[in-house]
Chain A
Amino acid sequence: MADIILQDLVKIYGNIQSRRRRKHRSAADGKRAIDGINLTIPHGSFTVLVGPSGCGKTTLLRMIAGLEGITEGKIMMGDIDITNLEPGDRGLAMVFQNYALYPHMSVKQNIEFGLVNARLPKQEIAERVKEALEIVGLQDYAGRRPGQLSGGQRQRVALARAISKSPECFLMDEPLSNLDAKMRSEMRSELIELHEKLRSTFVYVTHDQIEAMTMGSNIVVLDEGKVMQSGTPDEIHNDPDCVFVARFIGDPGMNIIPLPDGYQIGFRARDVAMDATESRSDSVLIGSNIEATENHGSEFLYLLERHGQRFFVKEVSRRARPGGSPLHFCVDRADIYVFDSEGRRVYDAAESERVFQTFKSLWETP
């Protein structure tokens, strides 16, 4: 079993020396795109790298693929060091955001190209192409050119090209972002199915946290070239390590309320009891007026404001409450997350109890 292990990975763009010569320095020079990443991608997992744009997730993927140089650190595949290997020798296949199909070759030739370069016997090439096309359901399109296919079909060809090589690991760089919404959800479930069928490692990059939550068995949240947290979707969602992850994951992200002493309180929009009236010791009762309403069909999202802080609460209901009407809700102690002034989660029970009491004294509506 070959896990992918990243050790102290650093990527600095541009000429490091040119930092001294101001004149020739461009904005990207000397920027640490990847800033000391240590990470293990378990074999057979569906690992999703997720983060806002510019967080370095694509750079990280391309470093694993060997398309981007590595400034410092090591990449291991099981016990093989692949840091210095050519991209083609790393045992990976990649699916690009804009598919990167060879426009002048037919679908069949596109898939064959890598197999021919790997000097496979003809018989086996034919078998592999046939099977790969069957898996993605494009048997009838083998002779077409990419230009004659729809976006979804091109995406499948790119997948088939990767599948045919039966690599140890699939790398996917936002493969669904160029598809329309319907196609995207279709492909999403197909990719999950494919992963179950092939049982090889998937490393999947996306900026869409919903995509990450629905597809990944292992999620890595990145920001500014650093790993913020990694874990299963449940861990990431229910146990965020820091404010950044809490805000980034979930729809909407967690409400974060700063307290005067620097600590921060978080709770999720749906973890509230609506129309609560009586106050208990292990919960906070908050009252406010509805500022705005978002209709999500079967549920409603209300924007509220208190002490100059805006936050959302969610209610499953048939009918919306009128705008401006007062709303009382109650948050349980168990649903409240405490973060320190640096944005890190406070795990110490006594400390977090103290912060909770401060919050309750300030925010409780009589």
Chain B
Amino acid sequence: MRQKAKEYFKRLRAFGKRHNGIAYVYMIPAAFGTLFFTILPFIFMIIAAFFKVDLVNIQESRYVGTWNFMMVFTRDNEFTKAVVNTIIFAFVTVILLMFVTILMASWLAKNTKVHNFAQTLIFTPHISSMVSVAILWVLLLDPRGIINQILALFGIQGPAWLLDSRTSLISVALVTVWKSIGYYCLIIIAGLQALPPEVYEAARLDKASRWCILRKITLPLLTPTLSFVFIMKFINSFKAFAAIDIMTQGGPQGSSMVLGYWIYNAGRVKFNYGFSMVGAIVLTVLVAVLTYLAQRFFNRRQ
């Protein structure tokens, strides 16, 4: 028996040596993680979208065909709103961020103590948790809060921000922009400082004015980095969750409902897995298509 076991282990070790066996040992956790957190949920998502899922007794779940899709697409007002809001939210955040950060970065990109200090200050919100920032801004955006007090100084009657269905989505978008300005500024500054200095010297010898340098040299040279960063941000804004959850919980009247929050609400709060997974599929398809387009866009550029 012992002899046999020894023989077996010997053969196993020989196999390992031939096939780089240690690699499999190293990969076990990663492979398990991929299976458990990517592949199985992916399959579950697709299957559950066609079932009326019974949570307590999974065997009792009924196949309902495309009924879930029909219900979600045609009957659920909040869902349509969520899709539209998600797209609006992504556009607003990215376009605002792009304008603000490109301007601010070209202003802040200098290596003096004051510039560095300013960079440090504007980066602070990025390392703070979204939850804290969101709670803080719930207060700042209160109808009687500081923002409206400042607006009142200029004689403007501020809106109710988060509590008004016309401004709630934009308010959340503004807060996420405020939080990430520092991060994107630093990324652009890093990109600016990686540009070759001799090219700028050559441009000075070529009698180029500052405006001309910005338009004809800096922006074209920076475009690959910029488009990459902002397209990634665009895709990531489809997944906004924490800010919505803390600040508005999708309200009022679904005015700030986004897909990520809708999925959570349907699945984790109302325990309607079929509906939730339909939303998940829509979100996945949206993100996948955008990622694919972005990927093609970058490959073509190279």
Contacts and interface: CB of A to CB of B under 8 A. Distances in A.
The answer on direct contact between A and B (beta carbons under 8 Å) is yes
Contacts of B212: 117
Interface stretch (A6-14, A27-35, A96-104, A333-341): A96-104
24 contacts: A65-B205, A86-B207, A87-B205, A88-B206, A88-B208, A94-B201, A94-B202, A96-B198, A96-B201, A98-B198, A100-B196, A100-B198, A100-B199, A101-B202, A102-B199, A102-B217, A103-B199, A103-B221, A104-B221, A113-B208, A117-B206, A117-B208, A117-B209, A161-B202
Interface in A9-67: 65-67
B268 interface: no
A92 B216 CA distance: 22
The 3 closest A-B pairs by CB, nearest first: A88-B207, A114-B206, A100-B198
A335 B260 CA distance: 89
B205 A93 contact: yes
B169 to A, nearest CB: 38
Contacts of A101: 199, 202
A67 B204 contact: yes
Given A88-B206, A100-B201, A113-B208, 19 more contacts: A88-B204, A92-B205, A96-B201, A97-B198, A98-B196, A98-B198, A100-B202, A102-B199, A102-B203, A103-B199, A104-B220, A104-B221, A113-B216, A114-B206, A117-B206, A117-B208, A117-B209, A117-B212, A161-B202
A118 interface: yes
Nearest to B200: A100
Q: Report the interface size class on chain B.
A: 10 to 19
A334 B53 CA distance: 107
Given A104-B220, A117-B212, A96 B202 contact: yes
A89 interface: yes
Contact of B204 (A87, A98, A161): A87
Looking at A65, A86, A89, A103, the one whose CB has the most chain B CB atoms below 10 A away is: A103
Interface of B: 196, 198-199, 201-209, 212, 216-217, 220-221
Contacts of B207: 86, 88-89, 114, 117-118
Interface in A61-112: 65-67, 86-89, 92-94, 96-98, 100-104
A291 B139 CA distance: 86
Nearest to A95: B202
Contacts of A104: 220-221
A102 B196 CA distance: 10
Contacts of B202: 94, 96, 100-102, 161
A88 B207 CA distance: 4
Contacts, number: 58
Nearest to A93: B205
A94 B205 contact: yes
What is the size category of the interface that chain A forms with chain B?
Answer: 20 to 34
Scoring B199, B201, B205, B220 by chain A CB atoms within 10 A of each residue's CB, the highest score goes to B205
Contacts of A113: 203, 206, 208, 216
B224 to A, nearest CB: 9
A80 B216 CA distance: 32
A104 B221 CA distance: 7
Nearest to B196: A100
Interface string A170-182: 0000000000000
Contacts of B206: 88, 113-114, 117
Contacts of B198: 96-98, 100
Contacts of B217: 102
Nearest to B212: A117
A114 B205 contact: yes
B41 to A, nearest CB: 43
A161 to B, nearest CB: 8
Contacts of A86: 204, 207
A331 to B, nearest CB: 47
Nearest to B206: A114
Contacts of A96: 198, 201-202
Contacts of A87: 201, 204-205
Nearest to B208: A117
Nearest to A109: B216
Nearest to B220: A104
Which residue of B201, B207, B212 has the most chain A CB atoms within 10 A of its CB atom? B207
Nearest to A115: B206
Contacts of A103: 199, 221
A139 B298 CA distance: 31
A29 to B, nearest CB: 16
A88 B205 contact: yes
A104 B195 CA distance: 12
A222 to B, nearest CB: 21
Contacts of B199: 100-103
A104 B209 CA distance: 18
B252 to A, nearest CB: 48
